[in-house]
Structure 1
């Protein structure tokens, strides 16, 4: 009778345990992301207009803010959608923030990509913190533009459940393949 190989068995069991832990971690991330999106939706539902900067701290994502942009950069057109979903051009300017990082300011939307003039001034809109920097979607639109599509926290990807299932499946497949190989070895 052949013995069960110790080192390969240990390696497969450790790998399967790591994959199971990664699956559990993805389930934790799922709940964190759901809570984050719920917080964003609550901020979006609160239509209170908050002045910014207030002590220099950035506002909560998806909240309504009012600020004064002392000097805006030249605008550029980026692919975007109107408030009713028509494809066209979002006109974006850059505005300095209290922390020094530039704020991307979506002035509005149009069918034309030609730059629009907007020197700066008071702005109201929806603030969204993003990895590449904060964005403010002007509402009402500025520089004679039409409304851009409003940001929606429901558009944020939340695929952690799929990742968890994937890790659990990897662990199961590794164990099944090893069990089949071990069975062949012990029979042979």
Structure 2
């Protein structure tokens, strides 16, 4: 009768333990995210504040805020939806706010074509705080390695000639930590079953 492979068993056991730990961690994150969403809902009813001059956490999302853009120094556009739900191209400016500091990201409205050329030269803006577009891979969020997202001001009033921005939407805030937890538990179960079957076949050989 063949012996149980000690090293392989330890490696598989550690892998399964790590996957289970990640599943438990995602369940903990689920509770934290639910508390954040409740805070975001409360933020919508609070009075406006000055847009934070230094990077902060996500606790200010959906809070009304104001800022002053001295000068747009760059533009990007991203696909999105306007206040009526129609598709368009989000016009996002990177603004200079002074000699120092991280600057300001502002979404000033939506264009109907991707080749729109905003002529905005800056000024006072008011709206609500949300996340700027981010290209981090999904796996970074899955394993908790995502870097903090940049905050952005979405204006209440669009630039002339552009469609209005959508209202803040709490349903757009992802809370898929339960799904992630289930995935890790499923992975751990599958790994255990596969190894048990392989071990059984080895012992019978």
Smaller-chain TM-score bracket: 0.7 to 0.9
- Are the equivalent residues in 2 in contact too, given 1:37–1:154 (CA < 8 A)? no
Unpaired runs of at least 5, structure 1? none
Q: How does 1:95-114 map to 2 (within 5 A)?
A: 95-97=95-97, 100-112=101-113, 113-114=115-116
- Are the equivalent residues in 2 in contact too, given 1:106–1:138 (CA < 8 A)? yes
State the TM-score, normalizing by the size of structure 1: 0.79
User: Does the C-alpha gap of structure 1 residues 175 and 95 become closer, same or farther in structure 2, counting only changes over 3 Å?
Assistant: same
User: 1:115, CA displacement in angstroms?
Assistant: 1.9
Q: How does 1:72-151 map to 2 (within 5 A)?
A: 72-73=72-73, 77-97=77-97, 100-112=101-113, 113-130=115-132, 131=148, 133-151=150-168
1:51 matched residue in structure 2:
50
1:41 matched residue in structure 2:
41
- Are the equivalent residues in 1 in contact too, given 2:69–2:104 (CA < 8 A)? no
Instruction: Name the CA distance, whole Å, in 1 between partners of 2:159 and 2:46.
Output: 19
User: 1:126, CA displacement in angstroms?
Assistant: 0.7
- Are the equivalent residues in 2 in contact too, given 1:77–1:115 (CA < 8 A)? no
Greater displacement, 100-109 / 123-132: 123-132
- Are the equivalent residues in 2 in contact too, given 1:73–1:95 (CA < 8 A)? yes
User: 1:85, CA displacement in angstroms?
Assistant: 0.7
Instruction: Name the CA distance, whole Å, in 2 between partners of 1:75 and 1:169.
Output: 43
User: 1:78, CA displacement in angstroms?
Assistant: 4.0
The alignment's C-alpha RMSD in Å is: 2.8
2:62 matched residue in structure 1:
62
Q: How many residues align?
A: 185
Correspondence 1:178 to 2:195: yes
1:160 matched residue in structure 2:
177
Instruction: Name the CA distance, whole Å, in 2 between partners of 1:182 and 1:115.
Output: 64
State the TM-score, normalizing by the size of structure 2: 0.74
- Are the equivalent residues in 2 in contact too, given 1:75–1:115 (CA < 8 A)? no
User: Does the C-alpha gap of structure 1 residues 27 and 73 become closer, same or farther in structure 2, counting only changes over 3 Å?
Assistant: same
